[in-house]
Amino acid sequence: MKVCHITTVHPNRYDVRIFQKECISLAEAGYGVTLIVNDNLPDEEKAGVKIKSIAVPVRNRRERIKKASMAAYLKALEEQVDLYHIHDPELLPVAVKLKKKQKKVIFDSHEFTAEQIKYKPYIPKVFRNPISKLYHCYETGCLNKLDGLVEPCTFAGKDYFKKVTIQKAIVGNLPKNEHFLNIERTEIDNNKVCYIGGLTEIRGLFHMIRGCYLAGKKLVLIGNITPELRNRMESMPEYQQVEYLGVLPHDVALKEASKCAIGLSLLEPLGQYRNLDNLPTKVYEYMMMGMPVVMSDFPYYKKVVKKYRFGITVDSTDDQSIADAIKKILGDPELMIEMGKEGKRAIKSEMNWQVSVKSLLGLYECVLNR
């Protein structure tokens, strides 16, 4: 069986979820896998996956939706495959077009887009809820025309896509054990705390900075940030306690993070995040490296921490609570070691990609054999 994955939004052809987890796992399971991307790199075959680029230059989101989507659709039609796997919300029209050509199509919902729209800064507040509702109706209509849907998790204990009646599977973005084989935490600096990921206000950037300052610890930041936010960050008096490493390749980022004593994930209680029944990818990665975690006190997060005891949940908007949690862990070496062991044990036993990939393969079998 041959399958084709398509993304025009993710700039990295070696994206961790799409390429390293899904595409490679499918190739290892015996599928012929092609990945269509949009970059300026030459076509290649890597780890059993054929990567083909449409190489369409775009200057903004509008051009990407118009030009790259059409180019991806035409490139997809050139591939004689049994199933298409679409990754971006803006490619839903492409998914529907492929379905009209009698192709089998799966959509991969990495996030709950309708919920994200409610907090998009470039949309005026008065329009966000109406646009969110319109998009949710549009998305549901498109999805019901397809063959399968990949969901990231449940939403506040329920199926967010309950009105979608096609075959569905939950495929959590859990870590691959082999991504951590070469990482050994032999240079741990107990004066450093880290965060990996996009640096935004809603993801707790400023509360992390102030919390680490109050705790008297250095905050190592790894990830992308807008020029405006970077200027705000660097103008803070607490910035003296920050070490910003910029955007790093995934493996390099993990190695740098592994040198720190604690990992942070302090999403603010806004939007979809407080209702998601999974942990941020970075938290799973911290756990796999044996790092204690300080994270938001959302219902699902508290439930998981209570069960596995790998960290502490706090009010992510309370700088002093963040500082107190950091000091509590670093002030008790035995607690820090035990939390690290518990997190690693949880990942190795049941919270890893080897569990998620079974759901993905099951969905493929159902769709292809129907």
| Cα-based distances in Å from 216 to 20, 109, 151 | 37, 40, 40
Same domain membership, residue 315 and residue 357:
no
Instruction: State which amino acid sits at residue 213.
Output: Y
- Supply φ then ψ for residue 155, to 5 degrees: -125, 110
Same domain membership, residue 160 and residue 12:
yes
Token pair listed for 187: 């240079």
State the number of CA atoms in the 13 A half-sphere of 78 facing the CB: 13
Same domain membership, residue 315 and residue 216:
yes
Token pair listed for 57: 């230059």
Same domain membership, residue 211 and residue 126:
no
Same domain membership, residue 181 and residue 91:
no
Instruction: State which amino acid sits at residue 64.
Output: R
Same domain membership, residue 88 and residue 170:
yes
CATH of the domain at 255: 3.40.50.2000
Same domain membership, residue 317 and residue 219:
yes
Element (H, E) at 196: strand 189-196
Q: Report the domain count for the chain.
A: 2
Same domain membership, residue 341 and residue 205:
yes
The pLDDT of residue 294: 98
Strand order from edge to edge, sheet including 44-46: 44-46, 49-53, 32-37, 2-6, 83-86, 105-108, 148-151, 167-170
Same domain membership, residue 139 and residue 170:
yes
Same domain membership, residue 245 and residue 166:
no
The pLDDT of residue 181: 65
Rounded CA separation 228/237 (Å): 17
- Are 9 and 88 in contact by the 8 Å Cβ rule? The answer is yes
Question: What is the residue-level pLDDT of the chain in tens, covering all 370 positions?
Answer: 999 999 999 989 999 899 999 999 999 999 999 999 999 999 999 999 999 999 998 888 888 998 999 999 999 999 999 999 999 999 999 999 999 999 999 999 999 999 989 988 789 999 999 999 999 999 999 999 999 999 999 999 999 999 999 999 999 989 887 767 667 788 899 999 999 999 999 899 999 999 999 999 999 999 999 999 999 999 999 999 999 999 998 889 989 999 999 999 999 998 788 899 999 989 999 999 999 999 999 999 999 999 999 999 999 999 999 999 999 999 999 999 999 999 999 998 889 998 899 999 999 999 999 7
Give the number of other Cβ atoms within 10 Å of residue 165's Cβ. Answer: 11
Same domain membership, residue 89 and residue 42:
yes
- Are 339 and 329 in contact by the 8 Å Cβ rule? The answer is yes
Long-range contacts: 57-66, Cβ < 8 Å, 24+? 64/8, 64/9, 64/38, 64/90, 65/90
Token pair listed for 272: 């979809």
Rounded CA separation 320/98 (Å): 53
Range of the domain at 98: 2-174+352-369
- Are 3 and 82 in contact by the 8 Å Cβ rule? The answer is yes
Same domain membership, residue 183 and residue 41:
no
- Are 37 and 5 in contact by the 8 Å Cβ rule? The answer is no
* Residue closest to 106 by CA, chosen among 98, 116, 115: 98
